[in-house]
Amino acid sequence: GESVGLHLPTLSVQEGDNSIINCAYSNSASDYFIWYKQESGKGPQFIIDIRSNMDKRQGQRVTVLLNKTVKHLSLQIAATQPGDSAVYFCAERSNDYKLSFGAGTTVTVRA
Amino acid sequence: EPEVTQTPSHQVTQMGQEVILRCVPISNHLYFYWYRQILGQKVEFLVSFYNNEISEKSEIFDDQFSVERPDGSNFTLKIRSTKLEDSAMYFCASLIGLAGNEQFFGPGTRLTVL
């Protein structure tokens, strides 16, 4: 069956440094991927998305890279700030807009 | 900015009791979802709802679960006879339509079954 997963459960990063969060997926038929951020006690919050016909998409301080050859997705956060501390999930969307989430990476920003 | 709201924020119940979790999706959205997240685990899809009927449900969403949109604003998840393993955060989400990309999530209801 399909699965979406992250490589590392935790990431500690110095404030101001760049963060890279990785995700591997197994369903080669997936055509749309999303990164969500979840702060403590809150619901998932959309960060950025990418379609399978793209390999890179940039937002404000965030970049998502998609490598379909190895079924790998990454989220890069530039100049990481304390407010970036959260759990980050990658998710794939099926045709009916159901989301399948990965396990999550907890990012901790050190001052 | 419009947002999805959920009540209550925390629900404690005894095993075997019925619970109803409530959600108010964003007003012009047409697609509604319930997800759950067991503590420390990933978010799992439960059910999607469109045009007053279930469009898809997961293996988790068994006969003990039901959803309803009783009026034009509320979207509810009912668990008829709760089990210990139903303890989790339950998130409601809504989507404007198939042209939209972003599912907006509510803050969640923490369900504790004792």
- pLDDT tens digits, residue range A95-109? 666 888 988 899 999
A104 in contact with chain B, both atoms CB, cutoff 8 A? yes
pLDDT at B11 over 90: yes
The reported pLDDT for the residue numbered A62 is 97
Q: Searching chain A, which residue's CA lies closest to the CA of residue B33?
A: A98
pLDDT at B50 over 80: yes
Measured distance CA(B32)–CA(A63) in Å, rounded: 28
The reported pLDDT for the residue numbered A95 is 65
Tell me the per-residue pLDDT of B72-98, one tens digit each, with 9 for 90 and over.
789 999 999 999 999 999 999 999 887
CA triplet B55, B36, A90: central angle to 5 degrees?
A: 90
CB contact under 8 A, B106 and A43: yes
- Chain B residues near any Cβ of chain A (below 8 Å): 4, 31, 33, 35, 41-45, 48, 55-56, 91, 93, 95, 98, 101-108
Min Cα distance B16 → chain A (Å) is: 26
- Give the pair of three-digit tokens for residue B6: 């959920």
Instruction: Specify whether the CB–CB gap between A35 and A88 falls below 8 A.
Output: yes
Q: Give me the residues paired with residue A58 across strands.
A: A63
The residue among B5, B29, B105, B109 with the most chain A CBs within 10 A of its CB, best to mutate, is: B105
Q: Searching chain A, which residue's CA lies closest to the CA of residue B99?
A: A97
A67 contact partners, CB below 8 Å, separation of at least 6: A55, A73
